[in-house]
Amino acid sequence: MSSLPIIANMTPLEAASPVAAARATGPDWLRRVAGLLGLVVLLALPLLSGSYWTFTLGVCFANAIAIISVSFLVRYGGEVSIGHGVFVAAGAYTVAVLEKYLGLSLLASLPVAAVLGAVLGLVFAFPSRNLSGIYLAVATMALALALPELLLHFSTVTGGYEGLYVKLDALPGVPKNLQRYYLPLFGLVAVALLLRHFRRSRQAMALLLIRTSAHAAESFGVRRSWARLSCMALSAAVAAVGGAMLSFSSSTVSPNSFTLWTSVFLLVGSVVCLHSMSVAGALVGGVFLTLMPLLLAGAGDWVPILYGGALLAVVLGVNALPAGLRARLEGGRS
């Protein structure tokens, strides 16, 4: 809840009082305390859970970063991508290839993965900068369909069907299972904080203005083509970071991990978390994306029906939450 309506309904003397200040900033303090408590719980989980759950939650965090990349494109570009698995794969294979051929660990290859993701986003966005809506979605879907065949075609580098393994420690002396948990978690928190800072920038306001009214934005000197390129580059960079974390947390990459369904499930995760770019919201999508197939693994032919029912229940349930709670989950409507 914003503090502005509270202050607006007060007299100047009341608004200047310490009590008014406490009332205005109270919800912010509650959110910060809740966020810190949630972070403490996540930090302590590996000490309370077994290695299986430590591994699974590390994958959840990596998937949550990839989901944020899709949510960013929806929020600031107003577009839907069915091909973000391509950028996730770029980040994942960058880490694996640099480790195999150059002996670089995750911390050294992560910046390279982010830059490569941004470059690929620009390469795709430039020729498709005039596409929007269903046409852009189909164009991104074409990328996702072609990706597995491209990975197999360059099998001498990518490892073909068997893929590549990620074995090097990012933090020497720290147990591998803890690295695969904490590094994706820290990556998720870092991405969410950076995007929170970005949302307060003039560039973010320009992107939102373009999305709301392209003609008004162009009258202020903000070009739509610039906005399209910027959104796709930033979104692809975040997706590549998620892919890099995913390859490290799962310790392997292969073409079977980056099919069209990978991109579809990333979009599903973004819808489940209401296109949130906060840690809590992205975790909702990451947990659904990672754990729901595991929970339904033994359902046989009922898996598509149960998965669809679970997706419908989560989406309707989240939309039925009170507006204030839903806004906190989304991390603010910027």
| Tokens standing for residue 229 | 């390129």
253 — phi, psi (to 5°)?
Answer: -135, 145
d(CA 193, CA 56): 23
What pLDDT was estimated at residue 2? 39
Amino acid at 310: A
Specify whether the CB–CB gap between 85 and 259 falls below 8 A. Answer: yes
- 135-185 pLDDT, tens digit each: 878 888 888 888 888 888 888 888 888 889 999 999 888 898 899 999 999
What pLDDT was estimated at residue 321? 67
Consecutive H or E run containing 165: strand 164-165
What pLDDT was estimated at residue 7? 36
Residue 189, class by beta-carbon neighbours within 10 Å (0-12 exposed, 13-18 middle, 19+ buried)? middle
Q: Which of 238, 9, 241, 231 is nearest to 122 (CA)?
A: 231
What pLDDT was estimated at residue 66? 95
Tens of pLDDT, residue by residue, the chain (334 residues): 334 333 334 433 333 334 333 443 446 677 677 778 888 888 888 888 778 888 999 999 999 999 999 999 888 888 888 889 999 999 999 999 999 999 999 999 999 999 999 999 999 888 877 777 778 788 888 888 888 888 888 888 888 888 899 999 998 888 988 999 999 999 999 999 999 888 888 888 877 777 776 666 666 666 666 777 888 899 999 999 999 999 999 999 999 889 888 888 898 888 888 888 888 888 988 988 888 878 777 776 777 777 777 777 776 776 676 766 666 555 544 4
pTM of the full structure: 0.83
d(CA 78, CA 212): 9
What pLDDT was estimated at residue 110? 95
DSSP state of 289: H
| Tokens standing for residue 264 | 């579809």
What pLDDT was estimated at residue 238? 95
How far is it between the farthest Cα atoms of the chain? 74
Q: Which of 304, 211, 323 is nearest to 261 (CA)?
A: 304
For the residues of 180-236, what is the DSSP string, one character each?
Answer: HHHHHHHHHHHHHHHHHHHHTSHHHHHHHHHHH-HHHHHHTT--HHHHHHHHHHHHH
Residues shown for the chain: 334
